[in-house]
Amino acid sequence: MNVCELAKKYGPALGRLLIANIFIVSGLHKIGGFAGTAGYMASKMGGLDPMLVKILLVITIAVEVGGGLLILLGWQARWAATAILLWMIPVTGIFHAYWGLPADQMQMQMIQFQKNLAIMGGLLYIIAFGPGALSLGKDKC
C-alpha cells in the first residue's frame, strides 16, 4: 500500500479524531467548570438573563460533546459537522471579536478567531466528503 492509499484509507478517521478532540475536550471542561463558564459567557453576552446564559451553555455542551462524538465515530458526521459549523459562526464572532480590543488582548483573540476559521474549514471537508471508510455511518451524498 503506497502513501496515497494509506492517506485515503486512514486519513479521514485520523482527521475526524483530531477535529473531534477539540470539541469533546472543550465540552467536558465546560461541564466541570459550569459556573465559571456561565460567568464568562454572561460577561461576553451583554446582560443576558442568567437563566438564558445557562440554557445557552447547556446547548453549547450538547453541540460540542454530542457533535464531537458523532464526528469521532463517523455516524451522522455530515449533520454533526453542519451543526457545529453553524454554531461556530456566532460563537466565533461573539467570543473572539479581536477588532477594537486593546493591543494586549488583540493578538490572542485574533489567533483564536483564525483557529476557528481553520476548524470551520475542516468541518466543511467532512460535510463535503463525508466521514470516510473507517466510520460507523454510510457515506450518502
User: What pLDDT score was predicted for residue 47?
Assistant: 82
Does the pLDDT value for residue 141 go beyond 80? no
Query: pLDDT value at position 79?
Result: 96
Report pLDDT digits (tens) over 65-84: 999 999 999 999 999 999 99
Nearest to 105 by CA among 113, 76, 41: 113
pLDDT at 136 over 70: yes
pLDDT in tens, 23-76: 999 999 999 999 999 999 999 888 889 999 999 999 999 999 999 999 999 999
pLDDT of 134 reads 86
Residue 140 has what pLDDT?
64
CB-side neighbour CA atoms (13 Å) of 57 = 24
Amino acid 59 reads I
DSSP secondary structure string, 68-131?
A: HHHHHHTSSHHHHHHHHHHHHHHHHHHH---TTS-HHHHHHHHHHHHHHHHHHHHHHHHHHH-S
Q: Which residue has the cell 477539540?
A: 22
Arithmetic mean of pLDDT, 1-28 = 94
Query: Residue 6 pLDDT > 80, yes or no?
Result: yes
pLDDT in the model for residue 77: 96
- Return d(Cα 42, Cα 2) in angstroms, integer: 52
What average pLDDT does this structure show over 87-102? 93
Nine-digit cell string for 27: 465540552
CA–CA separation, 71 vs 131, rounded Å?
Answer: 7
| Between residues 139 and 10, the one the model is more confident about | 10
- With CA atoms as reference, report the closest residue to 74 among 30, 119, 140, 118: 140
